[in-house]
């Protein structure tokens, strides 16, 4: 491997922008740069392009264009979804301990202003016990917030079963689908999802743009968090990030056409990586291996400090926690909630593959991770 070559296996943190996405975006920086709210021909042209991007994004999750609100990313979408329910009559929120910090911290904010929040544990494999959810729902429960696919382990929750319970109890379903959208088929109508957050940079679109789906059928009266000119049906004011929105739309279009093909190839490479790395003494996979996203493997290397391993790998990009903190001395709250010890959590590495990962890169990664981990284990 040359000194400059990077083997990038941190696609859950962010992905490379697809060349076709970049090509679609570029004219909206220099040629079609008018404000989308302008009433002149240039503005109306941009407005049409934004509306087309809304249709492309909606099509990715089987929604309607008018149900899509563009945001700066999934974190803003999550904040808008949860805080936007602040004036509802019910004041009880249910979520899972293994959620992303964007959900957990926003729920803590809601607690500070008078809401009750229940944080449900998972089984040791990261899957929520559906009975626990059913048991904690009361007449005061407003919304359940649950990830589709976990960002650290890739574990996929039983969304259909969760939705059935919530529908029967007349409870809203807010789904953080940031790690699943663009990778697997998601049908918000069939799954009964009322609110869904997504981010373009997780599936080969640009950073700084995402979306919140708000079901028209659920008739949720959302409260805006950003006030100003009343853009996007007064739900999210501010001049639209047109190049980013065009990029999100194009990334969505590509995902609709290619996600099945990508899944087969990436899952094969993930399994190849996992087979090689599990030859390491006592190594094991964190989380349910049957119900998980096809690009993710979270592996514990007992006796190996993950921070030291990441540094030793140099040009191989992996992480030991959430994408917002690639190297941290704190054990992962996700792995801890699944029952791992501090030491086990601090010895775990997340590998996340993507559209541009090659078989040669997997061979390089297996060899270097195995050798580096063995050296660190011997010297610890």
Write the DSSP string, 136-148. H--TTEEEEEEES
pLDDT of residue 326: 45
Does 262 lie in the same domain as 250? no
The per-residue DSSP string of 153-197 comes to: T-BBP-HHHHHHHHHHHT-EEEEE-TTTTTTS---HHHHT-SEEE
Which one of the listed residues 107, 175, 300, 324 is annotated catalytic?
324
Q: To the nearest whole percent, how much of the chain has pLDDT over 90?
A: 89
Round to whole Å and give the CA distance between 268 and 246: 31
Q: Is residue 1's pLDDT more than 50?
A: no
Do 234 and 166 share a structural domain?
yes
Pair 235, 300 in one domain? no
Residue 2 domain-assigned (yes or no): no
217 in a structural domain: yes
Range of the domain at 294: 7-16+258-379
Structure-block tokens of residue 32: 């079609």
Which CATH number does the domain housing residue 223 bear? Answer: 3.40.640.10
- Cβ atoms within 10 Å, residue 221: 10
Q: 174 Cβ partners below 8 Å, 6+ apart?
A: 81, 82, 143, 144, 145, 146, 193, 194, 195, 196, 197
**Of 285, 270, 250, the residue nearest 357 (C-alpha):** 270
Whole-angstrom Cα distance, residue 362 to residue 354? 12
pLDDT at 46 (0 to 100): 93
Identify whether residues 164 and 94 lie together within a single domain.
Answer: yes
- Would 82 be classed as within a structural domain? yes
* Per-residue model confidence (pLDDT) at position 322: 57
215 and 270 both lie in a single domain? no
- Given 201, 222, 254, the domain boundary residue is 254
H helix intervals, 228-332: 242-277, 306-313
- Domain membership flag for residue 30: yes
Per residue in 197-242, pLDDT tens? 999 999 999 999 999 999 998 888 899 999 999 999 989 999 999 9
Domain boundary pick from 218, 234, 254: 254
**In a shared domain, residues 124 and 263:** no
- Give the per-residue pLDDT at 4: 57
Question: 258: which residues sit within 8 A by CB, 6+ positions away?
Answer: none
Q: Is 107 among the residues known to form the active site?
A: no
Q: Give 70's pLDDT tier (boundaries 50, 70, 90).
A: very high
In this structure, the answer to whether residues 45 and 190 fall within a common structural domain is: yes
**What per-residue confidence (pLDDT) applies to 325?**
47
Q: How many domains are contained in the chain?
A: 2
CATH of the domain at 285: 3.90.1150.10
Q: What is the pLDDT of residues 309-343, one digit of tens each?
A: 999 998 999 999 755 544 457 899 999 999 999 99
């Amino acid at each position: 491997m040359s000194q400059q070559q990077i083997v990038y296996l941190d696609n859950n943190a962010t992905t490379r922008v697809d060349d076709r996405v970049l090509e679609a975006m570029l004219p909206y920086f220099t040629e079609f740069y008018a404000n989308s709210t302008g009433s002149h021909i240039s503005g109306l042209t941009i407005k049409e392009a934004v509306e087309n991007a809304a249709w492309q994004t909606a099509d990715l999750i089987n929604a309607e264009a008018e149900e899509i609100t563009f945001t700066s990313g999934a974190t803003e979408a999550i904040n808008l979804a949860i805080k936007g329910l602040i004036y509802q009559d019910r004041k009880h929120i249910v979520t899972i301990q293994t959620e992303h910090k964007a959900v957990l911290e926003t729920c803590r904010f809601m607690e500070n202003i008078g809401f009750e929040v229940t944080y449900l544990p998972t089984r040791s494999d990261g899957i929520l016990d559906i009975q626990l959810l059913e048991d904690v729902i009361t007449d005061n429960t407003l919304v359940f917030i649950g990830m589709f696919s976990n960002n650290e382990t890739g574990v996929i929750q039983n969304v259909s079963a969760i939705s059935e319970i919530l529908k029967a109890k007349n409870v809203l379903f807010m789904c953080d689908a940031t790690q699943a959208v663009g990778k697997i088929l998601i049908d918000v109508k069939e799954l009964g999802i009322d609110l869904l957050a997504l981010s373009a940079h997780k599936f080969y679109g640009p950073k700084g743009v995402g979306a919140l789906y708000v079901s028209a059928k659920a008739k949720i009266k959302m409260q805006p968090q950003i006030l100003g000119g009343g853009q996007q049906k007064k739900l999210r004011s501010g001049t639209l990030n047109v190049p980013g929105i065009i990029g999100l739309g194009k990334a969505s279009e590509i995902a609709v056409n290619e996600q099945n093909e990508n899944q087969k190839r990436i899952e094969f490479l993930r399994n190849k990586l996992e087979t090689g790395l599990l030859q390491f003494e006592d190594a094991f996979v964190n989380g349910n291996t049957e119900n998980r996203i096809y690009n993710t493997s979270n592996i514990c290397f007992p006796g190996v400090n993950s921070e030291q391993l990441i540094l030793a790998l140099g040009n191989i990009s992996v992480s030991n926690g959430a994408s917002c903190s690639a190297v941290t001395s704190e054990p992962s709250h996700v792995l801890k909630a699944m029952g791992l010890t501090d030491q086990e959590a601090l010895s775990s590495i997340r590998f996340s593959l993507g559209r541009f990962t090659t078989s040669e890169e997997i061979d390089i990664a297996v060899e270097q991770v195995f050798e580096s981990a063995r050296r660190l284990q011997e010297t610890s």
